[in-house]
Amino acid sequence: MVMMVSHDLKTPLNVAAMSFEFLHRLEGKGEPATQRMVERGLRATATMEKLITNILDVAKIEAGTLVLDVKPESGTEIATHVLDEVSLAAKTKNIRLLPLAADCGTCMVLCERARIYQVLSNLVSNALKFTKPGGEIRVTMESKGVDVVFCVADTGEGIPSEDLPRIFERFWQAEETSSMGTGLGLWIAKGIVQRHGGRIWVESELALGTRFFFCLPGAG
């Protein structure tokens, strides 16, 4: 039922998104006020699309029907693309993205590229959200036996120790957060990583920052 409803919602949403995109090109040199309205429409449809995708992912993870197209992929390439995607947002917020550090070269892992991109993008976006201007974010990778361990570290406010056991629960959000998220991102990330045969965990200290880790099977 959830998948059918989500599909029905996506169809008109795609039409709206394409319409706003057309207007965005059309109004490229138009009135600033109109351009701002079109840009708000684009952001709103992107947010709705992400929400519907999350709902679909929740349904698949719960039903055990999340199907993966696993193949050898470069972890460093995935991470580089994620960092490129958020670079403008980091610059706008005056947060420094430190250079990607990897001790395993291209860090080949067995994964579905789009899904691990989704996980890493969620972790980096969260780091941006909870790191104050002037802070830093770093993504690292290293070989650990037959696995490759990814780490997203920030210099944000940190997570209270009593919240750490609940951080990957569905719908959980820190009480002090001002964001209007769904509380599904980390739960979905955990489901995706576990479906790959890996695991995900967090280490954090108040006022010192947070480090999210996840490991995936290496591909040689």
Which residue intervals of the chain bear CATH 1.10.287.130? 1-63
Give yes or no for residue 147 having a pLDDT over 90: yes
Give yes or no for residue 176 having a pLDDT over 90: no
Name the pLDDT band for 179 (thresholds 50, 70, 90). low
Which residue intervals of the chain bear CATH 3.30.565.10? 71-217
Give yes or no for residue 175 having a pLDDT over 90: no
Residue with tokens 């001790």: 103
What pLDDT, on a 0 to 100 scale, did the predictor assign at position 36? 77
Mean pLDDT within 133-143: 97
State pLDDT tens for residues 12-61: 767 666 776 776 676 555 677 777 777 777 777 777 777 788 888 888 89
Average pLDDT of the chain to the nearest whole number: 87
**137, β-bridge pairs:** 97, 154
DSSP code at position 168: T
What pLDDT, on a 0 to 100 scale, did the predictor assign at position 44? 77
Per-residue burial over 161-173, b = 16 or more CB atoms within 10 Å of its CB, e = otherwise: eebeeebbeeeeb
Residue with tokens 């909870």: 130
State pLDDT tens for residues 86-125: 999 999 999 999 999 998 888 999 999 999 999 999 999 9
- Rg over alpha carbons for the chain, rounded to the nearest Å, is 19
Mean pLDDT within 142-157: 96
Looking at domain 1-63, does it have CATH number 3.40.50.150? no
State pLDDT tens for residues 57-76: 888 898 899 999 999 999 99
Give the percent of the chain with pLDDT over 70: 85
Fold of 71-217: Heat Shock Protein 90 (3.30.565)
